[in-house]
């Protein structure tokens, strides 16, 4: 029988993979994908809570729809930024994009 | 009439000040006469009310009126400050002096200040001064006395500096303000000392505490000395006398009102007002007598050699104030205040005479005057009366009060008595030196601004001088019968004829008359008949002459040593050092500290977004762990 905890463990694993990717990968596109992974981990957790704890309310699921929309918008903006950086500097290595330092 | 009307005595000039400064000066500046008329009208009202108060007080039992007061400040469980008036014999005498002299000076000013661009400003300040001075006289607690005390000081500053565009005038005003402030510090300290020891500012209560002995010993002595320090500043007694001669830079009617008759006498008044505090402390009352007696001869010696007519009068004022202090210290309220009363009239008259002479010749330097007797008969006559009066010639006003001071000094302070007798000679000498140099001989051409022959001043200036001349003759008669002394609370009365001629049966008055006569004779011999050459005598006593002429180097002492070395070189330099290294150092230290910290930790800003993200993640983790374990 699959219970709430299974979903939460899956969500945590996905989130950790995403976090690792976002912090450790150099390729900006991979970082963007990792962030998507983290967002989806959250989505799984929310749907699971919604299903198991308050089955009659759809709050969590509606939230998930919102997060998806935001994620799509974020990807659009993020990719546009990456393209702009690439045109400018001919690289998408995150460690090389360090203009904001002192 | 209800006694509340007494409030109007000082409120009327205050209204006049408000009207002139709020309405006339901004809106009606092209009609200068109005300001003078309003001031005079308000003073006429005050004078009328003062005369009424005098008659009421004379009739009242115990010579004191109860005027309803109001509570001004009430702090729960703490301080209650009354706003009240004392109306007793001392107050009404001062009221009469202030209102009469002020009225005469205002009338005179109509002529003297004619055409001055600051006409409204002048009368506004004069009204404010008169209001403050009347308030000072009427106030029934030390806090209010202090407030009005500072207000008269402020008005003095404003009026000395009336022609402030001349640097010497601005300096003189500053000097007057700062030097008197030194004394005021003592006064304030005394008020606080009295308050913390007795819990009251009320003068009447302080009197009874001193009389019953609840307030005694060193506390009382120090409080009295502190009050006297304030009086020393205001009344230009040694060692704070240096400001008064410089204050002569102000308009002459101002000198007549403030620096001769009223404000400088406020110190004497203050000592008289708090006299029970002095009379119950031998040290305090002796200090008053010694400072007074010493100042009298000290200032008179400098008056001997001055060539500026107003400066001679200024030193004469200091000297006479010293007499009053001596009278207070050796004799009591009645004797000191009686001299104040007489002195106010003849000294104001002398100043108005000096102003009139200046009006005609355009100078204050007596070496450029001479022979004015022929051109200005009224000024000459009134000036001569005042000079005779101040020299103590029987039966003019100055004789009666000076005689009493000498008699009381002989009884209580024999050493000071001899100094005072020498001062009698000096007073007569320097006054008649002025008379002969100014009015005798031939006209020596006047100052640079003089045009043509000198002429008598307009009647608006002569009239007040005549009134004051009459007062300079008769004001002393008040105590011929002992009436004034009885009014002030001690002494016995006798018939007029007995007092008038009986005084001549004693030897002391004859002695002082002879000394005064000798002084006049010397002045005549040196400056009119030229039997003795003033230059030769000056050369004979060259060191003494230089000492007097350079005013004992007190100005230099104060300026170079106290201001130059102690204040600027020591205290101010210390403050500046503290400012540079302490205050600036702290501020700059904070700034450079922040810069150094920033320089050190900006290395952490690598520009690696992922590293920032890692730190954020670690931070969140730390918060979660903290909440889990300690939340």
- Per-residue pLDDT tens digits for A60-102: 899 999 999 999 999 999 999 999 989 988 888 888 877 766 5
pLDDT of residue B405 exceeding 60: yes
pLDDT, tens digit, 9 for 90 and up, residues B410-430 = 888 888 888 888 899 899 988
pLDDT of residue A100: 66
- CB within 8 Å: A22 and B610: yes
Q: Which candidate, B334, B6, B328, B252, places its Cα nearest to that of B140?
A: B6
Q: Which band of pLDDT confidence, cut at 50, 70 and 90, is reported for residue B447?
A: low
Instruction: State the average pLDDT over residues B51-64.
Output: 83
* B202 three-class SS: strand
pLDDT of residue A14 exceeding 90: yes
In Å, how far are B202, B269, B337 from B484, measured between CA atoms? 26, 16, 10
Assembly ipTM:
0.75
Q: How many CB atoms lie within 10 A of CB B294?
A: 18
Q: Which band of pLDDT confidence, cut at 50, 70 and 90, is reported for residue B608?
A: confident
Neighbour-count burial for A51-80, b at 16+ CB within 10 Å, e otherwise: eeeeeeeeebeebbeebeeebeeeeeebee
- CB within 8 Å: B614 and A23: yes
What's chain B's average pLDDT?
Answer: 85
User: Above pLDDT 90, what percent of chain B?
Assistant: 15
Q: Which band of pLDDT confidence, cut at 50, 70 and 90, is reported for residue A34?
A: very high
- Report field, pTM of the whole predicted structure over 0.90: no
Instruction: State the average pLDDT over residues B42-57.
Output: 90
In Å, how far are B164, B407, B430 from B403, measured between CA atoms? 41, 6, 19
pLDDT of residue B448: 63
Q: How far apart are CA A45 and CA A43, in angstroms?
A: 5
Tokens 């207000």 correspond to what residue?
B151
Q: How far apart are CA B308 and CA B477, in angstroms?
A: 32
Residue of B605, B607, B619, B620 to mutate for A, most A C-beta atoms under 10 A: B607
Q: Which candidate, A36, A55, A50, places its Cα nearest to that of A7?
A: A50
pLDDT of residue A10 exceeding 90: yes
A22 at interface of B, judged by CB pairs closer than 8 A:
yes
Nearest CA to CA, how far is B593 from chain A (Å)? 19
pLDDT, tens digit, 9 for 90 and up, residues B517-558 = 888 888 888 887 777 777 777 777 777 777 777 777 777 777
Question: B82 has which bridge partners?
Answer: B71
Residue of A96, A97, A98, A99 to mutate for B, most B C-beta atoms under 10 A: A98
Residue in chain B closest to A101 (alpha carbons) equals B607
pLDDT, tens digit, 9 for 90 and up, residues B480-512 = 777 777 777 766 667 766 677 767 777 888 888
B613 at interface of A, judged by CB pairs closer than 8 A:
yes
Q: Is residue B168 left, alpha or beta, with left meaning phi > 0 and alpha meaning psi from -120 to 50? A: alpha
Residue B334 in contact with residue B491, Cβ under 8 Å?
Answer: yes
Q: How far apart are CA B101 and CA B89, in angstroms?
A: 18
Peptide bond connecting B395 to the previous residue in cis, omega within 30 degrees of 0 = yes
pLDDT of residue B63 exceeding 80: no
């Amino acid at each position: 029988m699959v219970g709430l905890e299974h979903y939460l463990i899956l969500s945590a694993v996905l989130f950790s993979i995403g976090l690792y990717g976002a912090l450790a990968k150099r390729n900006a596109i991979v970082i963007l994908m990792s962030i998507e992974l983290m967002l989806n981990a959250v989505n799984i957790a929310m749907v699971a809570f919604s299903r198991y704890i308050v089955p009659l309310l759809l709050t969590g699921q509606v939230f998930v729809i919102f997060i998806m929309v935001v994620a799509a918008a974020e990807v659009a903006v993020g990719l546009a930024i990456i393209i702009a950086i690439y045109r400018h500097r001919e690289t998408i290595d995150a460690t090389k994009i360090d203009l904001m330092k002192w | 009439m209800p006694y509340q009307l007494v409030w109007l005595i000082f409120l009327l000039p205050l209204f006049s000040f408000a009207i002139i400064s709020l309405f006339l000066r901004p809106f009606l500046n092209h009609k200068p006469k109005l300001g003078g008329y309003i001031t005079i009208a308000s003073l006429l009202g005050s004078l009328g009310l003062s005369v009424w108060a005098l008659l009421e007080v004379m009739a009242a039992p115990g010579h004191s009126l109860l005027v309803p007061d109001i509570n001004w400040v009430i702090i729960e469980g703490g301080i209650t400050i009354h706003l009240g008036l004392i109306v007793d014999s001392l107050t009404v005498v001062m009221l009469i002096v202030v209102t009469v002299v002020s009225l005469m000076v205002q009338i005179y000013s109509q002529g003297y200040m004619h055409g001055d661009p600051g006409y409204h400003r002048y009368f506004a300040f004069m009204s404010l001064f008169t209001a403050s001075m009347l308030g000072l006289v009427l106030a029934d607690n030390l806090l209010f006395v202090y407030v009005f005390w500072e207000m008269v000081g402020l008005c003095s500053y404003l009026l000395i500096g009336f022609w402030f565009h001349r640097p010497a005038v601005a300096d003189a005003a500053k000097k007057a303000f700062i030097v008197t402030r030194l004394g005021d510090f003592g006064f304030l300290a005394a008020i606080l000392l009295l308050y913390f020891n007795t819990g009251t500012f009320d003068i009447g209560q302080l009197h009874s505490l001193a009389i019953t002995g609840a307030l005694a010993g060193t506390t009382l002595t120090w409080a009295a000395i502190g009050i006297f320090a304030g009086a020393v500043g205001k009344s230009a007694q040694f060692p704070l006398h240096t400001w008064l001669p410089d204050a002569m830079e102000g308009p002459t009617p101002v000198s007549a009102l403030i620096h001769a008759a009223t404000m400088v006498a406020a110190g004497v008044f203050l000592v008289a007002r708090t006299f029970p505090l002095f009379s119950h402390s031998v040290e305090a009352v002796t200090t008053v007598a010694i400072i007074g007696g010493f100042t009298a001869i000290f200032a008179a010696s400098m008056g001997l050699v001055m060539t500026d007519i107003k400066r001679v009068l200024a030193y004469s004022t200091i000297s006479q104030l010293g007499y009053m202090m001596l009278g207070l210290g050796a004799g009591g309220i009645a004797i000191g205040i009686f001299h104040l009363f007489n002195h106010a009239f003849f000294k104001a008259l002398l100043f108005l005479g000096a102003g009139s002479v200046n009006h005609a010749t355009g100078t204050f330097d007596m070496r450029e005057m001479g022979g004015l007797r022929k051109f200005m008969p009224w000024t000459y006559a009134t000036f001569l009366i005042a000079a005779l009066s101040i020299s103590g010639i029987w039966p003019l006003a100055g004789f009666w009060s000076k005689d009493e001071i000498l008699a009381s000094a002989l009884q209580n302070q024999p050493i000071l008595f001899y100094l005072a007798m020498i001062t009698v000679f000096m007073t007569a000498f320097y006054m008649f030196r002025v008379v002969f140099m100014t009015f005798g001989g031939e006209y020596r051409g006047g100052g640079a601004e003089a045009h043509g022959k000198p002429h008598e001043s307009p009647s608006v200036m002569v009239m007040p001088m005549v009134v004051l001349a009459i007062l300079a003759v008769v004001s002393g008669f008040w105590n011929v019968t002992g009436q004034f002394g009885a009014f002030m609370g001690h002494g016995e009365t006798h018939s007029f004829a007995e007092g008038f001629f009986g005084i001549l049966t004693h030897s002391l008055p004859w002695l002082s008359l002879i000394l005064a006569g000798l002084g006049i004779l010397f002045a005549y011999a040196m400056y009119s008949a030229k039997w003795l050459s003033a230059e030769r005598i000056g050369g004979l006593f060259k060191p003494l002459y230089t000492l007097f002429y350079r005013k004992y180097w007190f100005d230099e002492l104060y300026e170079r040593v106290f201001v130059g070395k102690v204040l600027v070189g020591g205290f101010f330099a210390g403050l500046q050092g503290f400012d540079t290294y302490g205050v600036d150092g702290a501020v700059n230290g904070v700034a450079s500290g922040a810069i150094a910290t920033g320089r050190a930790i900006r290395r952490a800003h690598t520009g690696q977004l992922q590293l920032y993200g890692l730190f954020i993640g670690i931070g969140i983790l730390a918060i979660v762990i903290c909440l889990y374990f300690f939340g």
